[in-house]
């Protein structure tokens, strides 16, 4: 498996359409694909797209997503995991871990945040496995969802 950036946009849209379990809204997905300020990290095996992540590098992600912001002292170098989806054809192959290894290596001096639907057990397990720490929960009334905000930083990981 290998990683490419900002490529295969049609394929990642197709993966989202085929594999989205309702955790990411259509408008959110369309925005992330079209927004040139968001980095698309795409995992491939040969010519096959296995999965992808979309990264947002601004501190206003809570405001944009209409999430409460309980993050004290927001770091200067921040990444928000806008979305991550693995193709159903490549589940249990380490695609998401491969993507996170790439991100954590390339952006090792950044703090990464991810808001995860509490019902998305595979994503919660992945983020704990990848060294993320839950920092707060919140209820988003318009979606009727409880989210868990998670945080990863090299500094926090080295303290474990």
Q: Report the Cα 3 to chain-centroid distance in Å.
A: 15
The dihedral sign for the CA sequence 86, 67, 155, 38: positive
Task: Provide the whole-model pTM.
Answer: 0.87
Using the 8-state DSSP alphabet, how is residue 92 labeled? T
Q: What is the CATH number of domain 2-159?
A: 3.40.630.30
User: Is residue 10 predicted with pLDDT exceeding 60?
Assistant: yes
Q: How confident is the model at residue 12 (pLDDT cuts 50, 70, 90)?
A: confident
**Domain locations in the chain?**
2-159
Residue 53 has pLDDT above 90, yes or no: yes
pLDDT level of residue 20 (50, 70, 90 thresholds): low
Q: What is the pLDDT of residue 118?
A: 92
- Percentage above 90 pLDDT, the chain: 52
The string of DSSP letters for 112-145 reads: EEEEEETT-HHHHHHHHHTT-EEEEEEEETTTTE
pLDDT, position 21? 57
> Residue 102's pLDDT band (boundaries 50, 70, 90)?
very high
């Amino acid at each position: 498996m290998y990683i490419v950036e900002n490529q295969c946009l049609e394929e990642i849209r197709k993966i989202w359409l085929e594999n989205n379990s309702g955790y990411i809204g259509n408008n959110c997905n369309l925005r992330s694909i079209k927004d040139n300020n968001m980095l698309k990290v795409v995992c491939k095996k040969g010519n096959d797209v296995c999965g992808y992540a979309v990264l947002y590098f601004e501190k206003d992600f809570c405001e944009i997503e209409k999430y409460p912001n309980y993050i004290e002292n927001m770091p200067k170098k921040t990444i928000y995991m806008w979305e991550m989806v693995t193709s159903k054809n490549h589940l249990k192959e380490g695609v998401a871990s491969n993507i996170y290894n790439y991100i954590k290596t390339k952006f090792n001096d950044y703090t990464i945040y991810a808001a995860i639907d509490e019902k998305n057990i595979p994503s919660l397990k992945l983020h704990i496995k990848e060294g993320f720490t839950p920092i707060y929960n919140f209820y988003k009334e318009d979606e009727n969802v409880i989210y868990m905000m998670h945080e990863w930083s090299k500094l926090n990981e080295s303290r474990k």
